[in-house]
Structure 1
Amino acid sequence: MADTTDQAFYDRADAHINLSNEQLKTFESLGQVSASMMFGTTRFNAWVSACGFKTGAEMAAAREALLKYFCEQYRMMLEDNLDDHINNFGHYMRANAPG
């Protein structure tokens, strides 16, 4: 995975979070907005993955490696963010602000 410490990485992530926060103003279900964001991420990552192959058969041969990579990355990022929210719960949830 690319270096995730540059500011542009966080700016792009914040743009996606801001879009989801805007959607919460129209769709009251946190779960619906979260599910849509996760689906969009998986669809985009499938497309990004496909860009690296010449055929569907070639991509199919790499399917398990792709799943392993993306699942490991998601888990690592989710663990980091869960720990951050646990450690900063009072601050983050004070106003019960989205994202």
Structure 2
Amino acid sequence: MTDDNATNTQANETEGVALDPQFFTATNAYLELANQQGQTFGMKRVSAAILYAAARYNSHAFIGYETNPAANKEAFVEYMLDLYRRMLEENVDNLIENNQAVANAGQA
């Protein structure tokens, strides 16, 4: 986990965004729980549950801080869709790159 935190922090700092290390601590805690649940419920079911839970939590947060949620709903949804797309692409790219590095190391 420490290496992941350093890598993630370094990657985000190069993009001009310094994330709080507690962000990665919280992320790793959710991943640990997801991995535990995956053993019982299966990866696909847990993946869907995580997405649904995130949608519920983010909707709850939006309603809690937004003064006019009906008027700003569409902008919020578009923002969240874009944010998720960027996070998903970053993580898929990282896994592809890391798996390639591992595969190439074995061929050397």
- Give the TM-score range, shorter chain: 0.7 to 0.9
Distance 1:75 1:92 in 2: 26
Aligned length: 87
1:47 — aligned with what? 60
Structure with the greater alpha carbon radius of gyration:
2
Q: Which runs of 5+ in 2 are unaligned?
A: 1-16, 104-108
Higher relative contact order (CA 8 A, sep 6+): 1
Distance 2:48 2:90 in 1: 20
Q: Does residue 89 in structure 1 map to residue 99 in structure 2? A: yes
Out of 18, 35, 46, which is 1:21 matched to? 35
Q: Runs of 4+ in structure 1 displaced over 2 angstroms?
A: 90-93
Tell me the percent identity: 31
C-alpha RMSD over aligned residues: 2.0
1:7 — aligned with what? 21
TM-score by structure 1 length?
0.79
Q: Looking at secondary structure, tell me which structure has more helix per residue.
A: 2
C-alpha spacing 1:14/1:43, structure 2 compared with 1 (3 Å):
same
Q: Which runs of 5+ in 1 are unaligned?
A: 94-99
TM-score by structure 2 length?
0.73
